[in-house]
Structure formats: structure tokens, C-alpha cells
Amino acid sequence: MNRLSALVAGGLLACASLAQAQAMKTLPINRLIDNPTAGILSKGTFGFEMNLYQNGGVLIGFDVGLLDRLNMGASFGGSKIISDTSPDWNERPELKLKYRLVDETNVWPAISLGYDGQGHGQWITDNPQDEDLLAKAVPAESRSRYQIKAKGFYATAGKNYILQGFGRMGVHFGLNVNPIENDDDQGLNFWLGLDKEINDELSVVAEYDFARDDVRTGLSRSKGFMNLGARWTFAERLSLEVDFKDIFKNRKGDGITDTSISREIKITYMESF
């Protein structure tokens, strides 16, 4: 009888775990590629993310659903991590917060407010070994920053649609102000994005960042940043993403890396506690 009870209890736990895992897989995405969405993690859920980018760069971050409407997280990384030379760490860990202001309805999109201090790409600074390159390519006011600026304070809206016979598609819009990087270039910026399911495992993601806050003194050519990605959720809580960033080659040369399209890998794991 005890064995039977244990078997039944084990079966119930397994079913509960499976149901929970399926729920993880159907959670709305909380980030496109570089830009946040209005989606949030549910309370008691956390996500772990690792980005692999150019120059042996590794960025590790996590997000936690603290409350029903509030997520928080942090990230840290650097370049030359996957290398045979000494790593160049980012200047500091970066924090992020997101609050779900309005839930999505049949008519209205979801709306979230947040802060994200994490920029993307290599951290540019006055490094003695790069001094000559920096002097030629990067103006002094554009140093001590990421190649692609962080969002800073932002608001974002998103709406999901079911296309008959073609699955779900999400449409996203956001605006931000970054008061931290480049004192002389703190204008209002905008971005657009969408994600589209191909099947229950595969989806494609696209985003366009106007980069209006990174033109005067920044490393942008005013074309905006166009990014494309493919996401494979090959396990209930684990996904692998391949991203092609800066399709329009908007980023100016910084003397350290070239301006070709960046090919990056992102691994995401989600769990509950």
C-alpha cells in the first residue's frame, strides 16, 4: 500500500512538473533580441540567459518574477572571455526592472515600464593597449560606454494576434531615454519589433531600433539597428537562439571591431521556485 501511495504521489508530481514545464514554454517573451517587450515572467519564475558575441564576448544575466507585475534582474560580462588573452570585463554589473502597467486584452496591448542599464557589444574605454586605435576611430565623448547603448528608462507595448492557419504573431513598440551614456546625446528613441511562431518549437524575431539617441556623439550612422533572429525551444525550459545583428551596418567602426553583421548565440533557461 505504501508503494502504491508512493507511485501515485510520484505520478502526480510528474504530471504537475510536466504541466509546469509546458506553461514555461508558452510564456510570452520578455525580450526580442536587444529590446525589451511588455511581456514579464510570472511570479516565482526566473530566467537565466547567456549571450555569446564578437571578440569572445560573454554576457550572463538573469530575470526574476518577484511579484505578479514586477520583474527584476542583473547582468555582467566582458569581451575576450573565450580567448587565450586576459578578459576585458565590462565596467560594472547592470541592473534592470520591469513593471507591467496594463495587461493585454482583446482590444488593448500590454504596456510595461522599466529600466535596463545593460548595453550590447563590447565595452569601449580608454585602454592603453587600444589608445592609438581609439584616438583614430572613437571620439572622446563616445568612450566609457557599450558599442550599442543601453535602453535606460523605457516604456513598451505589445499585442499578440492569432493568424488563422499561420499561428501566433506578436507586434511590439517601445520608446526610451538613456541619461547615462553620452551626456550630449540623450534624446528620445524608438524601436519596433515582431515575433512569429513557425511551429511549437521554432519562431523568428525581428526588431528595428531607430537609435536616435546615438547619432550626434555616438557610434551610429543614423540608419538604425536592424536585427533578425531564429529561436529554437528544443526543450520545455531551454531555448537556443541565433541572431544576426546590425543588418544595415549602422555601427561606425570603433577601431577595435569591424562593422560587419554580428552573428551571436543566446541560450535561455527558465525555472520556477
CA–CA distance, 271 with 240 (Å, rounded to integer):
16
Residues 12-59 pLDDT 10s: 344 344 334 444 455 668 899 999 999 999 899 999 999 999 889 999
Q: Kindly report the CATH number assigned to the domain that includes residue 92.
A: 2.40.160.40
Please say if the pLDDT value at position 96 is more than 60.
Answer: yes
Q: Decide if 131 is inside a domain.
A: yes
Q: Decide if 158 is inside a domain.
A: yes
Please say if the pLDDT value at position 3 is more than 60.
Answer: no
CA–CA distance, 268 with 225 (Å, rounded to integer):
23
pLDDT of 257? 52
Q: Are 250 and 32 contacting, i.e. CB atoms less than 8 angstroms apart?
A: no
Residues 206-234 pLDDT 10s: 999 998 888 776 677 778 899 999 999 98
pLDDT of 184? 59
pLDDT of 182? 63
pLDDT of 163? 87
Q: Decide if 47 is inside a domain.
A: yes
Mean pLDDT over all residues of the chain? Answer: 82
Q: Decide if 143 is inside a domain.
A: yes
Q: Decide if 148 is inside a domain.
A: yes
pLDDT of 8? 40
Q: Decide if 9 is inside a domain.
A: no
Q: Which residue has the higher pLDDT, 37 or 4?
A: 37
Longest distance between any two alpha carbons in the chain, whole Å: 79
Q: Are 242 and 263 contacting, i.e. CB atoms less than 8 angstroms apart?
A: yes
Cell of 188: 528620445
pLDDT of 273? 80
pLDDT of 167? 86
Q: Which of 49-53, 124-128, 247-251 has the lowest mean pLDDT?
A: 124-128
Residues 143-165 pLDDT 10s: 577 888 899 999 999 999 998 87
The range of the structural domain enclosing residue 135 comes to: 28-272
Q: Decide if 70 is inside a domain.
A: yes
Q: Which of 63-67, 182-186, 226-230 has the lowest mean pLDDT?
A: 182-186
pLDDT of 154? 98
CA–CA distance, 87 with 83 (Å, rounded to integer):
8
Q: Which of 90-99, 126-135, 205-214 has the lowest mean pLDDT?
A: 126-135
pTM for the structure as a whole: 0.82
DSSP track, 63-75: EEE-SSSEEEEEE
DSSP track, 238-268: EEEEEEEE-TT--BPP-SSS--SPEEEEEEE
**Cell 515575433, residue?**
195
pLDDT of 183? 59
Q: Which residue has the higher pLDDT, 93 or 10?
A: 93
- % of the chain exceeding 70 in pLDDT: 78
CA atoms within 13 A on the CB side of 232: 5
pLDDT of 230? 97
pLDDT of 26? 56
Task: Report CA 68 to chain centroid distance, whole Å.
Answer: 21
- pLDDT classification of 244: cutoffs 50, 70, 90: very high
Number of folded domains that form the chain: 1
Q: Decide if 45 is inside a domain.
A: yes
Cα–Cα distances (Å) from 190 to 1, 95, 122, 149, in that order, read 64, 21, 22, 13
